[in-house]
Amino acid sequence: MRALALTALLGSPALAADTCHDIDASQGWQTAAFPAGLVQDVRSSGFWSVDPALTPAGTQGHGGPEATALATRSDPRPLPEARFGALLVRFEAAGQEQVMDWARFHGATSQSGVFNMNVDAIAFRINEDDAALANNSGTMTVCFRYQD
């Protein structure tokens, strides 16, 4: 019976491994290295804010009345079409730099199913001007789950 149990344990597939990186709201672009391999899931967790007076936001950035109030600010953002506080993603593909918000990146990776991670590094940041980062707070954690 013990031999059977040991065989079942040794013969079972290995569990998936996560590679995670914390992205600080008070920093600009932060490069995160992800190993090559088959990625089965990409996810994020955490909250951050572009202003201490605002409720911390998730990957989509500040919404509702806070988004309306922030819309009056004239400072530039790395990705103007995304909300203040959105999680941004930057990587190079086919020799071209790609910059997008997390919703687009996550949607594309989810739709593709398991994909081959063949980009050396991906950079992440909060969607706010570099000059305004000092009063930001919070952290997002980005994880890639690899198929073993």
When the candidates are 3.40.30.10, 2.60.120.430, 1.10.760.10, 1.20.58.220, the CATH number that belongs to 16-146 is 2.60.120.430
With 80 as the cut, is the pLDDT of residue 5 above it? no
Residues pairing with 138 in the sheet: 48
Sketch the domain layout of the chain as residue ranges.
16-146
- What pLDDT is recorded for position 14? 46
- What pLDDT is recorded for position 123? 97
Query: In the predicted model, what is the mean pLDDT of the chain?
Result: 88
pLDDT tens figures, 83-106: 999 999 999 988 899 999 999 999
**Taking residues 23-45, what's their average pLDDT?**
95
For tokens 């920093």, what's the residue? Answer: 27
> What percentage of the chain's residues is helix, strand, coil (to nearest 5)?
25, 40, 40
Distance of CA 104 to CAs 4, 78, 99, 127, 137, Å? 47, 15, 10, 14, 24
* CA angle (139, 53, 63) in 5-degree steps: 70
Contact 86, 80 (CB under 8 A): no
Residue 9's pLDDT band (cuts 50, 70, 90): very low
pLDDT tens figures, 36-82: 899 999 999 999 999 999 999 999 999 999 999 999 998 889 999 99
